[in-house]
């Protein structure tokens, strides 16, 4: 899976242009259908979902409220996202954890609401540079995953495939990436942790995110346990995005 996180970038015109090109591209690559997810800013979700139709490219969101509805000015609910055609939603992105002070508990609530509305969460986890240096990665991931596991356990229904994006904070937008062996160890830990704590999940897909480009994507593709990428900066340019996928 290749998920594009456009963050607070792209105009309505840029988004439409990207969608046009992406549709023509996927028409030549049926094998990519349902493996490409584009997460624009809220105002572009509906037009993008309409434009992409049933092309096989999926529209997602970058966040949702931890509340179901009500007096929460500026927030967007999981239900509203479902209404406008979002099928995936990034939650727990480090920029939301650090800039908006979102807690892991709030992120667990978002996951529950997304489950209720049949939106597939893309749960982001990752440690800071300091935590990495202190060898605390797995402790941090365990803390971040605890409310997610709780949400899974109390859910009425969960998606067939549960998606976790491992995004070390120190790799986001910095040009730095972890060593392949580090990634393999982290992926294997996430997989066995989730399998033992949330056995109701049938399938877990682990994405890597943080300064993904065509070069490192190529070298990471064979890492055991990797199920795709969450791509920020390089997803804003359609050619760069295509180069990461590796199909012209």
Q: Is 209 in the site for ligand PGA (CB under 6 A)?
A: yes
Structure tokens at 144: 């971040």
Q: Tell me how far CA of residue 4 lies from CA of 47, 94, 164, 203, 228, in angstroms.
A: 16, 15, 14, 21, 11
Structure tokens at 229: 């990428």
Say how many C-beta atoms besides its own lie within 10 A of residue 114's C-beta: 27
Choice between 44 and 170, CB closer to ligand PGA: 170
Three-class SS state of 131 = helix
Choice between 59 and 211, CB closer to ligand PGA: 211
Residues 50, 52, 53, 57, Cα dihedral to 10°: -140
Question: Least CB distance from residue 230 to ligand PGA, whole Å?
Answer: 5
Q: Is 230 in the site for ligand PGA (CB under 6 A)?
A: yes
Structural contact between residues 82 and 119, judged by C-beta atoms closer than 8 angstroms? yes
Q: Is 77 in the site for ligand PGA (CB under 6 A)?
A: no
Q: Is 38 in the site for ligand PGA (CB under 6 A)?
A: no
How many chain residues interact with ligand PGA (CB under 6 A)? 13
Q: Is 107 in the site for ligand PGA (CB under 6 A)?
A: no
Residue 5: name the closest of 220, 211, 219 by CA: 211
Position among 60, 159, 210, 228 found at the interface with ligand PGA (CB under 6 A):
210
Q: Please state, in angstroms and rounded to a whole number, the distance separating the CA atoms of residues 180 and 223.
A: 7
Q: Is 233 in the site for ligand PGA (CB under 6 A)?
A: yes
Position among 91, 212, 226, 245 found at the interface with ligand PGA (CB under 6 A):
212
CA Rg value for the chain: 17
Note the Cα 195 to chain centre separation in Å.
20
Q: Is 231 in the site for ligand PGA (CB under 6 A)?
A: yes
Question: Least CB distance from residue 76 to ligand PGA, whole Å?
Answer: 19
Residue 40: name the closest of 227, 247, 235 by CA: 235
Hey, which residues between 133 and 172 contact ligand PGA (CB under 6 A)?
A: 167, 172
Q: Is 173 in the site for ligand PGA (CB under 6 A)?
A: yes
Q: Which residues are catalytic?
A: 93, 167
Question: Least CB distance from residue 232 to ligand PGA, whole Å?
Answer: 2
Q: Is 244 in the site for ligand PGA (CB under 6 A)?
A: no
Which stretches of the chain bind ligand PGA, using CB under 6 A? 5, 167, 172-173, 209-212, 230-234
């Amino acid at each position: 899976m290749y998920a594009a996180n456009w963050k607070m970038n792209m105009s309505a015109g840029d988004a439409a242009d990207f969608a046009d090109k992406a549709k023509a591209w996927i028409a030549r690559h049926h094998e990519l259908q349902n493996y490409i997810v584009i997460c624009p800013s809220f105002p572009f979700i509906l037009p993008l979902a309409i434009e992409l139709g049933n092309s096989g490219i999926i529209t997602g969101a970058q966040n949702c409220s931890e509340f179901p509805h009500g007096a929460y000015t500026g927030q967007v609910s999981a239900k509203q996202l479902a209404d406008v055609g979002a099928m995936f939603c990034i939650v727990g992105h480090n920029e939301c954890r650090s800039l908006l002070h979102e807690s892991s508990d709030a992120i667990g609530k978002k996951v529950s609401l997304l489950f209720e509305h049949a939106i597939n969460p893309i749960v982001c986890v990752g440690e800071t540079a300091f935590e990495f240096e202190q060898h605390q990665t797995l402790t941090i991931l365990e803390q971040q995953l605890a409310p997610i596991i709780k949400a899974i356990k109390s859910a009425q229904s969960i998606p067939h495939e549960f998606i976790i994006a491992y995004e070390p904070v120190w790799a986001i937008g910095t040009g730095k990436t972890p060593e392949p062996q580090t990634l393999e160890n982290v992926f294997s830990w996430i997989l066995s942790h989730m399998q033992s704590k949330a056995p109701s999940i049938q399938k877990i897909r682990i994405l890597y995110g943080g300064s993904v480009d065509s070069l490192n994507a190529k070298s990471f593709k064979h890492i055991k346990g990797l199920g795709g990428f969450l791509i920020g900066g390089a997803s804003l340019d359609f050619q760069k995005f295509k180069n990461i996928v590796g199909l012209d």
